[in-house]
Structure 1
Amino acid sequence: MRYDYIIGGAGLAGLTLAWQMVENDLLEDRNLLIIDADKKETNDRTWSFWSKPELWIGDLPISQSWGKAVVKGEDFDLSQNLKPYRYYKIEGIDYYKFVLDKLKKNSQVTFIQDLITSENEEEKSINTQQSTYYYKSYFFKSYFFPDEIAALANPKKHFIWQHFYGWKIKTKQNRFNPDEFTYMDMQVPEVEGGLSFAYTLPESQKISLVEYTLFSADLWKKESYEKHLKNYIESNLEISDYEIIEVEFNKIPMTNSIFVKRSKSIIPIGTLAGTVKPSTGYSFMRNYKHVQQIVESLKSGQEDFALKESSRFRFYDEVLMNVLHTGKSSGHEVFGSMYKRNKLTQLLKFLNEETNLLEDIKIMNTVPKWPFIKAVAEELF
């Protein structure tokens, strides 16, 4: 059977696109196939993001949200109100169920559990371990093969991983404040050529996700993540009696390289399209905006599928990646200086790419100057 559209990968990008195609009546007389090797029945990840309250966010399966955040560095410990923003958390399993339940009600959508092994643009075919599927219009690709990651080893570009290991823990005593979360705690050992920090997302006084995160070129062995996370919980949080409810272990590529460019009818989405912001690793809101752009393009027939980005903020990301990747300054020095000398709401506005040039300059004036001047020169010339 030949489908009108095929989506490869039922992660955040693939499921969001399928959901919005249904919501926007793009499948009234067309059909869609989604292929993923996983049934999407486990809570394998958590998505967090900040936003001003919007109607569509209220429809999402938000598990928790906060209006106050804590940021810690070597010599500061700040609690701040996030207005006009709120910080939201969505459990992976909740989002999968939320979208899949909607898709199951539409007879034009088919979900097949299988592993994609290759794609053929000329034949408009997708090969899997079990079969071959064909499409008429577009194949939206959200996964990547190992050789596509290897191709990012470009000496003119910067590539690091955001890798993290977390436990959702339950304590016997009340140890958490569910009204505020820890956005970034840099009171942890530094990592060379990157950034290390921990954060907590409390659900109640006794339950919280505690995660140890690194931005670096080198991945760790699982035992190292466990050691540092355990030490953070027991030494920094001073919690010794707890139960591990869930484990989260993942990595996200952060780069100023483009993963995969459009190849005629093969359209990259998600991480492949650049929806992961290189300087932060956040992707939920950028992914949603890209999906909206794709949907509008499908409705209008414009084929404008490439992620729209600000060249100004793209350059900022490249400079920061340069500083971290080359070790011109430590991650703790860079981020510690920014978060200590700026209001968190202003930094969130900046990271959302909503600030004007004057606001940008004020923020840039709070980071170590010479490392960034050198990085700017290298990126320009």
Structure 2
Amino acid sequence: MNNIPSYDYIIGGAGLAGLTLAWQMLDSGLLDNRKLLIIDRDKKNTNDRTWCFWAKPDNWLKALPISKSWKDARVQGSDFDLKQSLEPYEYFKIEGIDYYNFILNKLSRSTQITVIQDFIVDEDAKNKMVKTQAGQYQFTEYFFKSYFIADELSGIKDPNKHFIWQHFLGWKIKTKLACFDPETITYMDMRVPEVKSGLSFGYVLPEKPSEALVEYTLFSAELWKKEDYESSLRYYIEKTLNITDYEIEEEEFNKIPMTNTVFEQRNKSIIPIGTLAGTVKPSTGYSFVRNYQHIQLIVDSLKNNTQCFESANSKRFRFYDEVLMNVLVTEKSSGHAVFGKLYKGNTLAALLKFLNEESSLWEDLKIMNTVPKWAFIKAVVEEFSRFLRGNNNKAN
């Protein structure tokens, strides 16, 4: 045991959650007299993803490597085309490679932090050990676990919760002509064929009049073959957006679990972070702000020695998320019908406030009054019954 490298903390996975936690631990002074090891199988030297989120332009955003922000957004459907201000919010974009470089450069200046490229094969909570393909490491305080195998997540069944994927293919394209308004994102374009048991839409983040990230996105339980996403995205660009002369510069292909399930409950020494801790909002698939909030809670807990590491998500909004997923999964109403009514009956700013879990109960009720009523009433009854069954099972 004496020959095994030992650290105070180990972070498994250098993605959004792992890197943000390391950065905040460093900046807070937690690592002044402690050692941290970060393990990830990738070098983090490619632009493999884009993080987007909306927020009020507060001070915490100033430190982030934001590549662009927008104050206006468009939503479209077969019978509407609405462009609105997002005020008091803005929509922000961070390139994956920029975030990796931003944080890894900070971490490289600290002698208390070690980053290695390796693949974790096992962790031992009792003996506080992490085993990789190349060796093993000991931690004296906590192991923060963010890594997971995406294909295994759908196999985790919780009878009291729904599970769907947000899955998408995006291309950063460059066009010959000026095809985009660089000051306005297309948040959701439902002028695409509908899918059963879910939602399909286009999404456009314009950088310049001739450059944009264009995505074809699905909320559904079933994943597709790569070529099906490609044909749907190409159809959206060429037939819906009427862009035929373009070059593909980058690609983003990903899947994000949308569920209220916390995939791995923490024990005394292994703490789930990121998706494993439930920081992805089930009804949207967005995680950046929720992840940042959870990391702040962890850092505050470490500083105050309170051992309070659970993500503090609202029970009220978790119930709303379950109801929406019920409607989509059970086909009580089509995704296009639900979101079309939401956009036509509410301002985008009001919806973003609701999705940020900042709205009052009265504001929630006003938004709920705009969705297909019978579909949601049935879903509310089913989810409330499911909630009662879950509580009875815990009591027994």
Question: Is TM-score (shorter-chain normalized) higher than 0.5?
Answer: yes
Whole-angstrom distance in 2 between the partners of 1:147 and 1:306: 25
Report the identity percentage: 66
Letter in structure 2 aligned against 1:231: Y
Cα distance in 2, alignment partners of residues 283 and 157 from structure 1? 19
2:92 alignment partner AA: Y
Give the CA deviation at 1:258: 1.8
Matched AA of 2:63: D
Alignment of structure 1 residues 213-292 onto 2, 5 Å:
213-292=217-296
**C-alpha RMSD of the superposition:** 1.0
Aligned match of 1:2 = 6
**Which range is displaced more, 369-378 or 152-161?**
152-161
Contact 1:6 1:140 in 2 (8 A): yes
Match of 1:158 in 2: 162
2:300 paired residue among 291, 296, 299: 296
Question: CA separation in 1, counterparts of 2:170 and 2:229?
Answer: 9
Check conservation: 1:152, 1:159, Cα contact below 8 A.
no
- Distance, in Å, in 2 between the alignment partners of 1:28 and 1:221 is 48
Answer yes or no: is the 8 Å Cα contact 2:154–2:163 preserved in 1: no
Gaps of 5+ in 1: none
CA distance in 2, matches of 1:148, 1:190: 27
2:24 equivalent among 20, 36, 39: 20
Aligned-residue offset at 1:145: 4.2
Distance in 2 between residues matched to 1:61 and 1:361, nearest whole Å: 37
Match status 1:124 vs 2:112? no
Q: What stretches of structure 1 move > 3 A for 4+ residues in a row?
A: 145-148
Measured against aligned partners, the alpha-carbon deviations of 1:134-170 in whole angstroms (never above 9, x if no partner) come to: 1000000001246962552234321010000010000
2:23 is paired with a residue of what secondary structure?
helix
**Equivalent pairs, count:** 381
TM-score under structure 2 normalisation? Answer: 0.95
Q: Distance in 1 between matches of 2:195 and 2:49?
A: 24
Aligned to 2:380: 376
Which residue is equivalent to 2:326? Answer: 322
Amino acid at match of 1:99: I
Corresponding position: 1:61 with 2:78: no
Residue aligned with 2:208, SS: coil
> Structure 2, unaligned stretches of length 5 or more?
386-396
- Which secondary structure state, in structure 2, belongs to the residue aligned with residue 366 of structure 1? coil
Q: TM-score, normalised by structure 1?
A: 0.98
Letter in 1 for 2:64: L
Match for 1:290: what amino acid?
H
1:75 and 1:148 map into 2 onto residues whose CA distance is 39
The superposition leaves residues 284-308 of structure 1 with CA deviations (integer Å, 9 ceiling, x where unpaired) of 0000000000000000000100000
Structure 2 distance, partners of 1:88, 1:234, is: 26
- In 1, the alpha carbon distance for the partners of 2:101 and 2:300 equals 25
C-alpha distance 145-171 of structure 1, shift in aligned 2 (>3 A): closer
Alignment pair present for 1:195 and 2:202: no
Q: CA deviation at 1:326?
A: 1.3
Matched-pair contact (CA < 8 Å) for 2:206–2:213: yes
Return the alpha-carbon distance in structure 1 between the equivalents of residues 154 and 61 of structure 2. Answer: 36
